[in-house]
Chains A and B, each alone.
Chain A
């Protein structure tokens, strides 16, 4: 639960939600820093991240070490989670606190990929989008940073203000998929 006086974007949305072989739950919102290297500074940023055991990620890449994690999050930018950015980083990159800007959800279960196929226009085959990868795409009409943790577990990040609307979309897809599964 959130610390006193604070709110999680998923508060009041009735999470976790279970439909069929799928569960949608809220993740807590720890530190999240957007790291955007100045032109050509990805290497220098990687070096600055080395004390955390991390590097600057290539497109789609997720790097994790000792609880800290850095996830590619768009053109020449990455989100550093659960660690404070090393001071040297600001010489080579714009570093911006976005900890409160994102709603963070988890969709897991045997039908997770099938549910997402209702909303995400991306090839989610494990061959094309394997565990440990990230992609920027859409969840219906919502902006989406999608991270595949395992074959059947996806982290879903969208803008904080859109949490309710994104949960609604996911819930509708979960209901349809669960009904299909019950049919066979």
Chain B
């Protein structure tokens, strides 16, 4: 598997550390209540098809949001997590 790092270009999967679904980007407010936090921490879909998840490019320190297909393993898009924050 090869993933594109927005800084470094296409790299072998061995250079990346996996975190989980992009849900982790959408942190609820401190007082959002247990259900919102339960969803944030634990509840995930298990799609056969497109998913978006978070990978860390260890060599350069970029967190990357990767769009990929769980069936074909095709990686279709990636962008820097910090870029999304800028929008």
Q: A121-B15, A138-B15 are in contact. Are A143 and B7 (CB under 8 A)?
A: no
Contact A74 B14 (CB under 8 A): no
Chain B, interface SS category: mixed
CB distance from B57 to the nearest CB of A (A): 8
| B27-35, B59-67, B71-79: which lies at the interface | B59-67
Contact A75 B61 (CB under 8 A): yes
A74-B56 Cα distance, complex, nearest whole Å: 12
Contact A138 B59 (CB under 8 A): yes
A183-B40 Cα distance, complex, nearest whole Å: 59
Interface residues of B in 43-74 (CB under 8 A from A): 57-62
- By size class, the interface of chain B is 10 to 19
Contact B59 A137 (CB under 8 A): yes
Contact A75 B62 (CB under 8 A): yes
Identity of the chain B residue whose Cβ is nearest the Cβ of A145 in the assembled complex: B59
CB distance from A75 to the nearest CB of B (A): 4
Contact B15 A75 (CB under 8 A): no
Contact of A136 with B by CB under 8 A: yes
CB distance from B87 to the nearest CB of A (A): 13
